[in-house]
Amino acid sequence: MKKRVLVTEPIPKSVVDYLEAEVELERWSHPEKIPKGLLLQKIPSFHGLITFKDNIDQEFLQAASQLEVVSNISVGYDNFDIEAIKRSKIIATHTPYVLDETVADLIFGLILATARRIPELHQYVRNGKWSKSVDISLFGHNVHHKKLGIIGMGRIGEKVARRAKVGFQMDVCYYNRSRNHKIESELGAHYEQMDELLKTSDFILLMTPLTEQTYHLIDYEAFRKMKRTSFFINASRGAVVDEAGLINALENQLIQGAGLDVFKQEPIQLNNPLLKMENVVTLPHIGSATAETREEMKLFAAKNMLQALRGDTPDAVIKELN
Ligand SMILES: NC(=O)C1=CN([C@@H]2O[C@H](COP(=O)(O)OP(=O)(O)OC[C@H]3O[C@@H](n4cnc5c(N)ncnc54)[C@H](OP(=O)(O)O)[C@@H]3O)[C@@H](O)[C@H]2O)C=CC1
Ligand SMILES: O=CC(=O)O
């Protein structure tokens, strides 16, 4: 008898066909997330779950009596309670590498949009304000040859560093808990302690995972150390920043602007003060959201699932569970 897999995110036909060759599939294909109650009701009859952002917590795991594998369609897995999964012996996988270039492209888009004020000027043209040469008060700032500080120089950070060094001749420094010797020797990016990076960078990119250690890693005190002319970019997870501290820092002009793909609460609430600030560019968590890359991520998640259900080691088991 075929094993049963539940997929709670829309997937393309190619991935459906790939999975159905080996397993019996049930799909939740609505644009809105599956309600938690319904997921808990359904999950006892499944061996596998392919998910995008469902919370895989203790309550879910208790209900998932036959579950063997949970496969996340994303590289970040802060929606997983890793300690609870360890105790359950369920295999958990994610989708690293396939999205790195795409997310790095988006991050450069955010850097450029923020420094060159692209959304604001786009609106200026559309609102019919372009009647003479653009006033100096609307000029942006250079990106090329500036200093980029990356907090979290991992797979995606490296791709951003490459773009910054090769395409924009930027001075790139980074902070991690451990040294990334490859990026130092290949690109000449240099390691700096966090304080030094905060004090000297023109652009500060946050690219760590969200963990207990990184929760509110950047708070008001961190913004106080940054240059008043600096731009803060976050494409990691909203909770790696203390969002109230960021709002405060922007209101007090401790930094010049921010480019944000991720927020404390997603979707963002419309009364969030960040949405009223001209010097803040906001995106709806779309780092990996191109048609090509999302399809590749879904295929990768499906491969991880089938490998695990066959008893093989999946290509991308979450490292704490390896
Ligand atoms: N906006 C979007 O759409 C997307 C967001 N993301 C987010 O980006 C994150 C990073 O992805 P990826 O590059 O693949 O991950 P990696 O694991 O490859 O890189 C993460 C880096 O963060 C560093 N890091 C981890 N913990 C700390 C810490 N406490 N202090 C300082 N540095 C730390 C790690 O170095 P070390 O261990 O040496 O400290 C590592 O270099 C994902 O977890 C996800 O949350 C990912 C894809 C798309
Ligand atoms: O945020 C997206 C991810 O892949 O992580």
The whole-angstrom separation of Cα 120 and Cα 113 is: 9
CATH annotation of 99-282: 3.40.50.720
The whole-angstrom separation of Cα 282 and Cα 279 is: 10
CB 259 less than 6 A from any atom of ligand 1: no
Instruction: Supply the residue whose CA is at minimum distance from atom 44 of ligand 1.
Output: 76
* Ligand nearest to the Cα of 296, by number: 2
The whole-angstrom separation of Cα 112 and Cα 162 is: 16
CA of 289 relative to ligand 2 center, distance in Å: 9
- pLDDT tens-digit series, residues 277-300: 999 999 999 999 999 999 999 999
Which residues does the annotation mark as catalytic?
237, 266, 285
Provide the CA 36 distance to its chain's centre, in angstroms: 23
| 4-97+291-321 and 99-282 have identical folds | yes
* pLDDT, position 21: 98
pLDDT confidence band for 121 (50 / 70 / 90) = very high
* pLDDT, position 216: 98
Please state the ipTM of this predicted complex: 0.99
Instruction: Supply the residue whose CA is at minimum distance from atom 3 of ligand 2.
Output: 74
CATH 3.40.50.720 is right for the domain spanning 4-97+291-321 = yes
- Is the whole model's pTM more than 0.90, yes or no? yes
CA of 71 relative to ligand 1 center, distance in Å: 19
- Nearest-Å Rg of the Cα atoms of the chain is 21
Q: Which of 93, 98, 101, 103 to mutate to test the pocket of ligand 2 (most atoms within 8 A of CB)?
A: 103
The pLDDT of 6-35, averaged and rounded, is 96
- DSSP for 102-143 reads HHHHHHHHHHHHHHTTHHHHHHHHHTT--SSSPPGGG-----
* 83's tokens: 């300690």
Give Cα separations from 284 to 117, 250, 275 (angstroms): 18, 20, 12
Give residues (CB < 6 A) around ligand 2.
74-76, 99, 287-288
pLDDT confidence band for 242 (50 / 70 / 90) = very high
- pLDDT tens-digit series, residues 175-207: 999 999 999 999 999 999 999 999 999 999 999
* pLDDT, position 114: 98
What does pLDDT average to over the chain? 97
- pLDDT tens-digit series, residues 60-108: 999 999 999 999 999 999 999 999 999 998 999 999 999 999 999 999 9
Does the structure show a pLDDT above 90 at 29? no
Paired with 48 in beta bridges are 5, 69
Would you list the domain boundaries of the chain?
4-97+291-321, 99-282
Instruction: Supply the residue whose CA is at minimum distance from atom 19 of ligand 1.
Output: 154
Amino acid, single-letter form, for residue 93:
T
The pLDDT of 306-315, averaged and rounded, is 98
Determine what percent of the chain is predicted with pLDDT higher than 90: 97
Paired with 7 in beta bridges are 27, 50
Query: For residue 262, which atom of ligand 1 is closest to its CA?
Result: 1
- pLDDT tens-digit series, residues 142-184: 999 999 999 999 999 999 999 999 999 999 999 999 999 999 9
The whole-angstrom separation of Cα 70 and Cα 86 is: 12
Paired with 147 in beta bridges are 171
Strand ranges, E, within the chain: 3-7, 23-27, 48-51, 69-72, 91-93, 147-151, 171-175, 190-191, 203-206, 231-234, 257-260, 280-282
Does the structure show a pLDDT above 90 at 31? no
